Amino acid sequence: MNSFFIEYRDPLFGIIVFFALIFVITFSSYWWSRYKRQEDYRHLDKFLRQFRSLPSQEELKVLITSGELSEKTWLLLAHSYAGNGDYEKSIGIYNELLKVGDKANYRDTMFLLGRTYFKAGFLERAKQVFLEILKNHPRTPQALTYLLLVHEYMREYELALEILEPLDELNKPIESDGAYLHSLILINDTNLTSQEKAEKLLCIYKSTHRLTYMVFEYLFRINPKLAWENFDSSKCHLLVDILWHVDKKDLDLDIIAKNGYLRELYTARGDIELSSKSSVFEFDVMINLKNKANATLAFEYICAECKQIFPFGFNRCSNCHAIDSSIVEFSLTKNYHRNSSEENNSFQ
């Protein structure tokens, strides 16, 4: 039976032990490295989670009162969160700063909190914050302005109008807001007929020379004949998208024939043939193609104040809240509403 065992003095025994040690060391090193790698991943993930979630209120209170970061730094952090759309974190920081922050900055922090509530869509909470500011600091135009916007967004137009008086006393311009709010009240008045609304809107437009887009968008939608009767040809470029979408049956050919811009626009659309070329590139291309290409105009809207671009028309910019600041830009695009039989000549 001893023939089955190798004596430790046999050279073959030493070779077997050597390779056995190599195997044990390699096996141990492999599993140890896997373990350490998993530990490193867990540690890194735990570290990154600190940045993905906001500390609890108690943790925030400890961090803010510890003084490791200045109040200005916390305000900048909250502003950064709000700018990225992470309103929950921003609101959490502002609320904690109101409890333990410098009382000298209390009003400013309250305003930032109210503005963040407004941007996040918590209009009732925003209203309460701005009312609280005005209760203690009535001459705060920024709070008054945002309170007006809150009432407007909540369709409380009469309450919004009441804010114009204190804003006027603070020497803030209110003409555009007044005309805009009165127009909204008219459009949403269920006791008036569409014809009465149109006539009253025209009175506002003629007396203020404001809200061109808002008034004529409503008129061309409700009463195209009245819109053409009061149409100002010098405003064509402001209303090009509205004019482009007017039904062919509602066109006033007498007015169109007298205005070069309108002749080119409706020749490009294929309704008439009164122009052979145009100084507007998009119109000129479509006139020369003589409606054989499957092309139309696509529109986008730029705020003249903040230069923000929107895919739809607006009367008040949702970014800077300017009124009547919409600039219409257009470009050639494929017409997806044409019949499939015309696709052989499609515009690409």
Task: Write the pLDDT tens digit of every residue in 141-154.
Answer: 999 999 999 999 99
Q: HSE on the CB side for 320, CA within 13 Å?
A: 14
Token digits for 32?
Answer: 């140890």
Please provide residue 323's backbone torsions phi and psi, each rounded to the nearest 5 degrees.
Answer: -105, 140
- Pairwise CA distance, residues 198 & 226, whole Å: 8
Q: How many residues does the chain have?
A: 348
3-state secondary structure of 205: helix
CB atoms within 10 A of CB 273: 12
Walk along the chain (348 residues) and give the pLDDT tens digit of each residue. 455 445 556 677 677 777 788 888 887 888 887 777 777 667 666 655 554 555 666 666 666 666 667 788 888 888 888 888 889 888 988 988 888 777 888 999 999 999 999 999 999 999 999 999 999 999 999 999 999 999 999 999 999 999 999 999 999 999 999 999 999 999 999 999 999 999 999 999 999 999 999 999 999 999 999 999 999 888 899 999 999 999 999 999 999 999 999 999 999 998 888 888 888 999 999 888 876 667 889 999 999 999 999 999 999 999 999 999 999 999 988 877 655 444 444 444
pTM of the model: 0.76
Please provide residue 251's backbone torsions phi and psi, each rounded to the nearest 5 degrees.
Answer: -75, 140
Asked if 44 contacts 70 with a C-beta cutoff of 8 angstroms, the reply is no
CB atoms within 10 A of CB 191: 5
Enclosing H/E stretch for 176: helix 175-187
- Pairwise CA distance, residues 195 & 22, whole Å: 96
* Nearest residue to 321 (alpha-carbon basis) of 172, 208, 104, 204: 172
Enclosing H/E stretch for 301: strand 295-303
Q: How far is CA 144 from CA 91, 104, 155, 322, 346, in A?
A: 20, 21, 16, 15, 53
Is 328 exposed, middle or buried, given 0-12, 13-18 or 19+ CB atoms closer than 10 A? middle
Orientation of helix 106-120 relative to helix 141-153, angle to 10° = 20
Q: DSSP letter at 102?
A: -
pLDDT tens-digit map of 25-38? 887 888 887 777 77
* Nearest residue to 328 (alpha-carbon basis) of 348, 347, 345, 311: 311
